[in-house]
Structure 1
Amino acid sequence: MNTETLLDRLRTKLLEGGILGSFTARNLATGQQISLDPDRVFPAASLVKVPLALATMQRIIDGEIRGSTRVDVSPGRLTIPGPTGLSKFRHPATIAIDDLLYLSVRISDNSATDALLEITPPEHVTWLMRELNLGGIILRHSLGELADTAEARLRPEERYLAHHLAIDGVNRAAGPLLPQLDPARANTGTAEAFTNLLNEIWRPTRIHEAAAQRLRQLMKANVLRHRLAPEFDTDATVWSSKTGTLLNLRHEIGVAQHRNGHTIAVTALTESTTAAANQPAAEELIAHVARQLHNRVRTLQDF
């Protein structure tokens, strides 16, 4: 099967499974890449924690701030399913910037992330992305705003209604009903831009090696491994990644480092057209498509 036929079949599978998606797989040694709609803009959800962490680490290495500086963090007090760490704390805490980075990337803690955004604000992260030729990644707001959706105010048995609102927004010519899902107002990115970011973290040319190394370590230790990790994590492959989930958005970016030397970056940005919070079949389909693209990239000849 040639590559174009493969892409057509994968696109059809996604549509049949109620998934609109943008995918890339890139061999970081050769630059060879296969993509499905890589320039489509998506609300980025928790994927923004990676560029935020990078920007903050760059500032620490440049001496602008100190990683040991302690920060007072208010309790998150969130009750909806999903968030972890400080986001569920009931009392204030004092935590060093270095440890906020750990919490933000490794366990996707939104309260830790918002504390970091007060130190390294969204406009600084966006500026750095542009400086690194990664202008497809834009930060506009805190992560706390992501939790302020109808889902947080509904009873568990009613939360499917929030997903209906999200899906209705996808199909409205006037734009999404929810600001968190509006590419004109949300934190956003493209599969191409996030793949370029992974490329820079694993093959740094414009960022500090120390910052890249720390991010690789944090992403390798990411505890949220339910989406693409089942397809990539084996005894012969190290999968380092970051997920992003919000209502009907299901994203993941990561790098598969194979024992035979292949290093493949994979990005999956998706939105579901099915009004349900738990969709194991969708998760499986997203992982399948990502794996198929990854496998095809491994077969391509070097330039």
Structure 2
Amino acid sequence: MSVERVVRRLRDDLDDAGLRGSFLVRDVHNGDEIGIEPDIEYPIASLVKLPLALATLDRIRAGELDGGEPVRVDPGDMIVAGPTGLSRFRHPAYVAIDDLLYLSMSISDNTATDILFGLTPPDDVAASMRASGFHGISVRHPIRDISETVAAQLQPADAHLAYSLAAEAGTSGRGHRIPQLDVTVANSGTARAFVDLLQALWKPSGLDPWTAERVRALMAGNVFRQRLAPDFSSDATKWSSRTGSLLNLRHEVGVVEHADGQVFAVAALTESRVPAFIQPAAEAVMGRVARTLRDQVRVM
């Protein structure tokens, strides 16, 4: 089957699952790639934790920050709602900057993330990305701004109203009535921009080798493995990634390393028109689409 027919079939699969998606898979070594609308800009939700980690680690490497410095975290102070991590703590705690990075990247701790943004503000993270030669990822605000959506103001029984608004209130220019979903004001990026970043992290590039290795290790520890991981994890592969979720957005970017030496960067950014947060079938389709694109690139 030709690549064009495969891509058309995958578009249909996404549509049947209620998804619109932007995908890109690239062979890290030779640059071969196949995508589905890889240059469409999306709000990136928790994918912003990846450029934040990169900027923070670069500052640690340069001696501007001490990774072992403890930061006091008090319940109710700088707390950002989230299902895991420091927002669940009941008592004051001291957490080193290095460990805040682990919490942010591996268990997607939003409070840890915003403490790190307090040390390296969004404008500085954006400047660090530009200085490293990465374009197409905009970092504009901390995680707290993402968490303050209309869904947070509704009772659980009415949450579907927020998801309906998220699915229906967008504009053709990627604007949105919900600011966190408007690419002109939200943290945003494209599948291509994230694949460019992943390739630089896994292949010798202008990034400092120590910084790149630390980011790879943090991505390898990601505990959220329900999305693309089932299609890329095996005894003969290693899957390292960062996920992002907000209202009707479901994203994951990562790298699959095969035992035979092949390495593929994968980015999957999607939005759903189904007014529900829990959609395991949609996530299964995301994984199948990404894996099929990988299979096509692998034999090019």
Instruction: After TM superposition, list the pairs within 5 Å mapping 1:36-115 onto structure 2.
Output: 36-75=36-75, 83-115=83-115
Q: Name 2:149's counterpart in structure 1.
A: 149
For 1:223 and 1:107, the matched residues in 2 are separated by 6
Q: Name 2:120's counterpart in structure 1.
A: 120
Q: Is contact 2:86–2:112 with CA below 8 Å preserved after alignment?
A: yes
Number of matched pairs:
299
Shift of 1:157: 2.0
Which amino acid in the other structure matches residue 276 of structure 1?
Answer: A
For 2:229 and 2:37, the matched residues in 1 are separated by 22
Q: Name 1:202's counterpart in structure 2.
A: 202
Q: Is contact 1:79–1:88 with CA below 8 Å preserved after alignment?
A: no
Shift of 1:15: 1.8
Kindly provide the CA deviation profile for residues 168-226 of structure 1, in whole angstroms up to 9, marking residues without a partner as x. Answer: 22257793111110101100110000001101111131111111111111111110001
Which amino acid in the other structure matches residue 159 of structure 2?
Answer: R
Q: Is contact 2:175–2:184 with CA below 8 Å preserved after alignment?
A: no
Which amino acid in the other structure matches residue 121 of structure 1?
Answer: P
Flag the 1:122–1:174 CA change in 2: closer, same or farther, 3 A: closer
Kindly provide the CA deviation profile for residues 69-118 of structure 1, in whole angstroms up to 9, marking residues without a partner as x. Answer: 222234369797x6310122234432111111010001010100000001
Q: Name 1:283's counterpart in structure 2.
A: 283
| Percent of residue pairs identical | 50
Q: Is contact 2:137–2:188 with CA below 8 Å preserved after alignment?
A: yes
Q: Name 1:17's counterpart in structure 2.
A: 17
Q: Name 2:249's counterpart in structure 1.
A: 249
Gapped regions of structure 1 (runs ≥ 5):
none
Bigger drift between 149-158 and 45-54 goes to: 149-158
For 2:279 and 2:62, the matched residues in 1 are separated by 43
Q: Is contact 1:26–1:265 with CA below 8 Å preserved after alignment?
A: yes
Instruction: After TM superposition, list the pairs within 5 Å mapping 1:151-190 onto structure 2.
Output: 151-170=151-170, 175-190=175-190
For 1:242 and 1:252, the matched residues in 2 are separated by 6
Gapped regions of structure 2 (runs ≥ 5):
none
Flag the 1:173–1:99 CA change in 2: closer, same or farther, 3 A: closer
Q: Name 2:270's counterpart in structure 1.
A: 270
For 1:282 and 1:132, the matched residues in 2 are separated by 35
Flag the 1:156–1:115 CA change in 2: closer, same or farther, 3 A: same
Q: Name 2:3's counterpart in structure 1.
A: 3
For 1:154 and 1:79, the matched residues in 2 are separated by 17
Flag the 1:76–1:177 CA change in 2: closer, same or farther, 3 A: farther
- State the Cα RMSD in Å: 1.7
For 1:135 and 1:160, the matched residues in 2 are separated by 35
For 1:236 and 1:86, the matched residues in 2 are separated by 35
Flag the 1:171–1:13 CA change in 2: closer, same or farther, 3 A: farther
Shift of 1:161: 1.2
- TM-score calculated relative to the size of structure 2: 0.95
